[in-house]
Structure 1
Amino acid sequence: MIRLGTRRSALATAQSNLVADSLRALGHEVELVLITTIGDVNRAPMAQIGGTGVFVSALRDALLADQIDIAVHSLKDLPTTPLDGLTLGAIPLREDPRDVLIARDGLSLGELPPGAVVGTGSLRRQAQLDALGLGLELTGIRGNVDTRIAMVADGKLDAVVLARAGLARLGRLDEVTETLDPIQVLPAPGQGALGIECRADDVAVLAALAPLDDAATRAAVTAERQLLATLEAGCSAPVGALAEVVEGEDGPELWLRGALGQDGGVRRLSANGPVDDPVSLGRALAKELLEE
């Protein structure tokens, strides 16, 4: 029996059930164990309650205490600094990593009038949306998907910006009014990807997770998370990144785009490198962003 630790939110349990079903299809028995994290019970701004890690620390504690065997994280929530004794046993095929807009009256981003109130809890989104110069009023919000979408339906906000992947996993893509082009808003490092963490010495669980790992997704998110780590930024920082495996002149290569919000603007750069060395690519692009 594999004990799978998950947060209690609808999105977290949906993501965990996807992993559980994949493991069951491989012949494993899986039991879901519900865990409450600080980020689930404290509605203060992310930076105020600790930023990176508020959604994962309780899951990691349960892993280290041998209360669960695996934990399923939204990879964008997972700190970039490794934790002794734990490892990412698998990073499955990534969902679409882009951000989306859910706006009143079916409006797109360009159709929102100046002064329209747009909600997002992300400094990254705020910085990039502000840099577009659309005259939007950006306001910080917290809460689950239902809570955020309800703010638009109730007329408290004109629109909200969310991760497309979460809505896809909840079966709610029909509420999206626009999928945002990464040229406008780069997603968070690791957005759309799941990280399945386990104890580093649990050989049986590592073997069970191995078939779920997607090499291209792992390479892409490793580059993105290395960029974040090199910038010494957390998941609440105004950093966007998106890497993709593309076909180059000499075969597959990794293409990485990065954005850093600073001093009221956003700096954007891109670079490419070998698929088998995503760490060097992420580190190099981060240093370029800092030098700019």
Structure 2
Amino acid sequence: MLRLGTRRSALATTQSSWVADRLRALGHDVELVEVTTEGDRDRTTPLARLGGTGVFVSALRAALAEGRVDLAVHSLKDLPTAPDESTTVAAVPTREDPRDALVARDGLTLGELPAGATVGTGSPRRRAQLEALGLGLVVTPLRGNVDTRLRQVSQGRLDAVVLAAAGLRRLGRIDEATELLDPLQMLPAPGQGALAVEVRAGDAATAAAVAALDDADTRACTTAERVLLAELEAGCSAPVGALAEVVEGLESPELSLRAVVTTPDGTADLRRSLVGDPGDPGALGRRLARLLLDDGAADLMTGAEPPAASPTDPTTPLPTTDPIATEHAP
């Protein structure tokens, strides 16, 4: 019997059940074990003050290390980039939609919200990118599970909220999104839309069972994004967005990575992109991070505007169209 640790929220349980069902289909017996995290107990303090979204991870890792569970499922964007000696990520399954979703009153899109409209989010990255758009929106701190956040709109307390499209899809509520935000407009968090299945370090039997769920392309893309985040020395609550995709090159598949670093208030941002080898995603993440740092990313993250970049910077221009950004919810 494999004991799978999960948070109690509807989304966490849905994600864990998805993994459990796939393990059962491979012939394994799986039992869900509920684990309460600090982020679940304290639903009012901003996540940045609690230590970022990593507060959802520590209790699950402790349950693994203590032998109370055999594996745990995390939203990969919540997983700290620093290695944990007691656990290992045995699988990164196929990624769900990585985009951010807008849920607004009256079916409005982001561009249709009037100046002064209130938009809720608990993410510094989303806040900064919304402010950078210059739409005159009032971005309001917001925490809580998906139901709690959506009720802020349905009950008229907020004009809109922004949350991960993947969560809405997994909960069967994607039709409530009034717009799926183009990554050219708002880059997602590194790892957004992907899951991480962790096992206890040294547990070769469970690692082997879980490894069958790993998706090579998803692992390559999310590795590039997370290495970039680590090289920037930015936590999962930093105003950093990144998205990697495996694309067709002239001779073989390539890994395309783009990223944005903003000031916390969104008054300045820095966008860069590079292409590399899917077989070495970490190298691509490090290269792009170095490029961003050379161009002043560290100053941006602390709120200072960096010097203007040279027009000869060896960056790959951002595309004018985006193959994953063409779908919009009804």
TM-score of the two chains, using structure 1 as the length reference:
0.99
Q: Which residue of 1 aligns with 2:152?
A: 151
Q: Which residue of 2 aligns with 1:27?
A: 27
* 1:140 is the counterpart of 2:154: no
* 1:11 is the counterpart of 2:11: yes
Contact 1:88 1:195 in 2 (8 A): yes
Q: Which residue of 2 aligns with 1:282?
A: 285
Residue type at the aligned position of 1:246: V
Q: Which residue of 2 aligns with 1:265?
A: 268
Task: After TM superposition, give the deviation of residue 242 of structure 1 in Å.
Answer: 0.3
Task: Name the SS of the counterpart of 2:12 in structure 1.
Answer: helix
Alignment of 1:197-236 (within 5 A): 197-236=198-237
Residue type at the aligned position of 1:268: R
Task: After TM superposition, give the deviation of residue 237 of structure 1 in Å.
Answer: 0.7
Residue type at the aligned position of 1:79: P
Q: Give the Cα separation in 1 of the matches to 2:263 and 2:294.
A: 13
Q: Which residue of 1 aligns with 2:72?
A: 71
Q: Which residue of 2 aligns with 1:39?
A: 39
Q: Give the Cα separation in 2 of the matches to 1:110 and 1:281.
A: 34
Task: Name the SS of the counterpart of 1:212 in structure 2.
Answer: coil
Q: Give the Cα separation in 1 of the matches to 2:123 and 2:144.
A: 12
1:56-98 CA distance string (max 9 Å, x none): 0000001000110000000000000110031100000000100
Contact 1:127 1:265 in 2 (8 A): no
Q: Give the Cα separation in 2 of the matches to 1:85 and 1:47.
A: 24
Residue type at the aligned position of 2:22: S
Residue type at the aligned position of 1:282: G
TM-score of the two chains, using structure 2 as the length reference:
0.87
1:238-281 CA distance string (max 9 Å, x none): 00000001111120110001010127212111111000111111
Q: Give the Cα separation in 2 of the matches to 1:286 and 1:260.
A: 10
Residue type at the aligned position of 2:102: L
Q: Give the Cα separation in 2 of the matches to 1:174 and 1:52.
A: 26
Contact 1:80 1:228 in 2 (8 A): yes
Task: After TM superposition, give the deviation of residue 102 of structure 1 in Å.
Answer: 0.2
Runs of 4+ in 1 over 2 A off after TM superposition: none
Q: Give the Cα separation in 2 of the matches to 1:137 and 1:85.
A: 42
Q: Give the Cα separation in 2 of the matches to 1:101 and 1:196.
A: 28
Residue type at the aligned position of 1:33: V
The alignment yields a C-alpha RMSD, in angstroms, of 0.8
Residue type at the aligned position of 1:165: A
Q: Give the Cα separation in 1 of the matches to 2:178 and 2:47.
A: 26
Q: Which residue of 2 aligns with 1:85?
A: 86
Task: After TM superposition, give the deviation of residue 154 of structure 1 in Å.
Answer: 1.1
Task: Name the SS of the counterpart of 2:81 in structure 1.
Answer: coil
1:109-131 CA distance string (max 9 Å, x none): 01000111100001101111111
Q: Relative to structure 2, which stretch is displaced further, 10-19 or 266-275?
A: 266-275
1:138-165 CA distance string (max 9 Å, x none): 1110000001000001111000001000
Q: Percent identity?
A: 66
Residue type at the aligned position of 1:157: L
Q: How many residues align?
A: 292
Alignment of 1:51-200 (within 5 A): 51-200=52-201
Q: Give the Cα separation in 2 of the matches to 1:235 and 1:95.
A: 19
Q: Give the Cα separation in 1 of the matches to 2:45 and 2:128.
A: 20
Residue type at the aligned position of 1:46: L
Q: Give the Cα separation in 2 of the matches to 1:83 and 1:242.
A: 24
Task: After TM superposition, give the deviation of residue 52 of structure 1 in Å.
Answer: 4.2
